[in-house]
Amino acid sequence: MAVSLPVGLLAIQLVPVDRRNPPVETEVPATAEARAVLRRACYDCHSNESVWPWYSRVAPISWLVARDVHEGRKELNFSTWNRLAPNQQNKARRESWKEVEEGEMPMWFYLPIHPEARLSAGDRAILQAWSLAPAGAALAGR
């Protein structure tokens, strides 16, 4: 049976999409400037403070956005950083820099719609310093 495109597009809007933002348990330890870069470029997919824009409410785009957020949070969630042991936190910082250095993160398709997430050379230097800083005092600045 053939379903017309408009009917199909309407029908898929009924599929529930989980756009919840669970509670924020902690702030990621970082200097104010490093946190600002992370918030600008990573938090939509790697925190519980995701901003869900209008197109995240329209299927099938909504499915893609929600998938990225759920997968992203599973890999790395700055809002539940407290759940990581200190050595895992260090590893997560190093991996974050590695992804940025290699140009893997933020994901390429995110950038045209979120130009504020484009990282300048200065932003990258800030993230690199954050990833290499010894845990503790060097990260505590606000």
54-73 footprint of ligand HEC as x/- string (CB under 6 A)? --------------x--xx-
What's the CA angle centered on 16, arms 71 and 110, to 5 degrees? Answer: 40
Task: State which residue, 15 or 64, has the beta carbon closest to ligand HEC.
Answer: 64
Stretch that binds ligand HEC, among 7-15, 17-25, 81-89, 105-113 (CB under 6 A): 105-113
| By the rule CB under 6 A, 107 interacts with ligand HEC | yes
CB of 14 to ligand HEC, least distance (A): 25
What's the CA angle centered on 98, arms 79 and 30, to 5 degrees? Answer: 40
How many Cα atoms within 13 Å fall on the side-chain side of residue 87? 0
CA distance 41 to 46: 9
Residue with tokens 């800030």: 126
CA distance 34 to 80: 17
8-37 footprint of ligand HEC as x/- string (CB under 6 A)? ------------------------------
Q: Which residues bind ligand HEC (CB under 6 A)?
A: 41-42, 44-46, 68, 71-72, 75-76, 95-96, 99-100, 105-107, 110
